Structure 1
Amino acid sequence: MELTPFKRNLIALSLFAAPFGANAATQQEVVAHYADIAHAVFADAHTTAVELDSALNAFIAEPSETTLQAAKKAWLDARVPYQQSEVFRFGNAIVDDWEGQLNAWPLDEGLIDYVADGYQAELGNAGATANIIANQRIQIGATDLDVTDITPTLLASLNEVGGSEANVASGYHAIEFLLWGQDLNGTNAGAGERPYTDFAYGEACTHDHCDRRRDYLKAAADLLVDDLAWMRDQWAEGNKDNYRASLLADSSENGLRKMLFGMGSLSLGELAGERMKVALEANSTEDEHDCFSDNTHNSHFYNEQGIYNVMTGTYQRVNGNTLSGPSVLDLVRDKNADAAEAIKASFDQAQQQVKTLVVSAEDNNVYFDQLIAAGNSEGNQLVNASIAALVDQTKHIEQAAQVIGIDNLNPDTADHQF
């Protein structure tokens, strides 16, 4: 039986539970290893994006149910390293300013392609039903745009067109929508069910404009690969002009502050808040992260895994190798072994609790969009328990900062109250 990406990674979780480094680490060594992990994660995200691009090319060349399923699997595999990269966002402006072109959500899919009757778009978004695929010119507010040639450059230029953040033309979720289509099941079971014939040639084409749909898919994949290559290179050794060089040239205290702020902000404001609390309180599948594919459970788990990676100085690469080195946890342990044990315990609890969302989906066939349904008290409690574990984890990130003398942390809450 083929293992899912999540279950393949579970095999190696014992590696992450190993005792922290026996030798005392310096702050500068910890920051340098953080850069090593970032480079490895973005390199893996690029590698899996290239594999996705290859699978999409095969699908475009010969659309069939088999090639569509292979493309979907490649997309799911590509999400594993990318979601672990988001821990580098909030503390590093270069990543946070860049990531929207790859992972912005929720999106108004009507900007891209056809949508079902009753489609719910962001209020006031003039581009919500522009349908780039069906038109060579689109009108968004007072702006008339030529979209005849669907290229990576065009897609990049259309992100947030008309001033709406819901106008997302590129990245993982645009590709996800093109592969799966809308999930019209609400909080009931089931993901999107786009037919492969939406990309077929000649009379086999369904929903018209299959040539432009193929062009769009290819352009989005090419842009994704190029964007990830650029970010990978920003963290590579041996370039005195890239971001890694500037990070390591700064004080180690500032480097540690970026690490801790990134962990805390992803844990609290983003994952517990924007990605769980918002969807749960509104019972809204529109606020589900990987909403077309119903991959949200994995998306959440690998966000948490990314936080765990940075605290423990470990990362399991997509080839199965494990990168490990000096960590924040090592610095804490050198000063206060009891605090380090408490922090590690909180991180282990958060990881195990978020893992219950994966178990619910993969073992019980109850996915995140079902867990957040109104009236699903058991599912709601599972999500609430994950939120609580992430809040506790964030408190322990703040404790780690205090122990090692990093002040002014203030992780981003995204204006949520916990």
Structure 2
Amino acid sequence: MPTPDSPDSPDSPAASPDSPSPGRRYAWASRNFRIQTTATVVSGLGNAGAPIATAFAVLGNGGSATEVGYVTAARLVPTVLLLVLGGALADRFPRHRIMVGANLFSGVAQAVLAALVLAGNVQLWQLLVLSAAGGAGYALYSPASGGMIMQAVPQEYAAKAFSVFRMGLNASQIGGAALGGALTTAVGPGWVLALDALCFLIAASLRFLLEPETAPAPGGSSMLRDLHEGWREFVSRRWLWGIVLQFSVLVACTGAVESVYGPVVAEERLGGAGSWGLAMAAFGTGLVAAGVLMARWRPRRLLLVGNWGVFLFGVPALALAANAPLSVLTAAMFLSGVGVTVFGVNWMVALQQEIPEEAFSRIVAYDELGSYSLSPVGTALAGPAAAALGLNGALWACAALCLLLSAAVLVDPQVRRLSRRSTTDATEVARERATAP
């Protein structure tokens, strides 16, 4: 039976104009939420297959695991360098316009890359430049997207909304990874990259229909001051920067496994791109399955429960290092997907609950900046590490780091104790923020 703080209770205080009325089960899903979720699903279909296609485009052109790592790093470097700029822009200007422009830019870059791959004999420098262009587009898009989706739902429905959003995104990863792997095997990587370009253009058209929900930040402050204020918000919360520091190494390890080691192992032992596409689809299935769980489960200790999911991040590396058969690898990828969603939903709820709305995009930018900061290094060194330690040795090292960092972050009491607020508490905090000088 629902209590006044339950998301299904008609007596819950309204946190925004999008709060549902009795009898309207999905009234919390505002127009912007529906459009953004649909556009994310569309772009996710292409994005899930593009890394598979890019890796096998390099390998098919005679490249090595080291060159696969360089191409992946080329995408990550501009992402890291431009994320903070993207966050500041998204807190000053209409977020939907930034997303449209970023999607169009990324779509054109992928279209050019697809044309070059289809023409044959694409050069490494071309792959590097166009991968970097895609990373720049993502750096501008992601902070605006994070701010828009957090702004589009009432706080008392945050867990349900973020779970639905992630289920849509993750379902597209299932289809996109399976389709990307199958198409790469059947017709070559160029057509997968062309599909990704088309998906970007469709997503841009959908996001053009989004409406800004708040006015842009006043233009009186400078961009540098905005960045400084966002940094103060970021460093004032130990739980926030502690987990971001943890993820800087975790993302580097998992990125090396998924972008470099996984495709190489699939090519050498498991039958090629189709097998790796199946493994990535299992990862997506785990993401969706956990999304169904998180839409109903409201754990009180947000970050403690979320971090238990992080322990599963290193399971695919363990399976690959142990030379496990494809069936075991797909199970490991499924568990990893479950862990990503369990963490991700709780993390998004914590951010919406604890971060002032006007600083959302800058905090998202600092979050992603820290989380991705070591990824270019990790992917660039993936090949040399495999040469020095052996492929299995590098995989064992990645798995050990994931497990060690998952345990280490729980030393911080702020991570263990940060709790979900009741609807009444959340309303009071929102009122205090709105009236603060």
> Would you say same fold, with TM above 0.5?
no
Give the number of the structure whose residues are more often helix, by fraction: 2
Q: Which structure has more RCO (C-alpha within 8 Å, separation ≥ 6)?
A: 2
* Alignment TM-score, normalising by the size of structure 2: 0.28
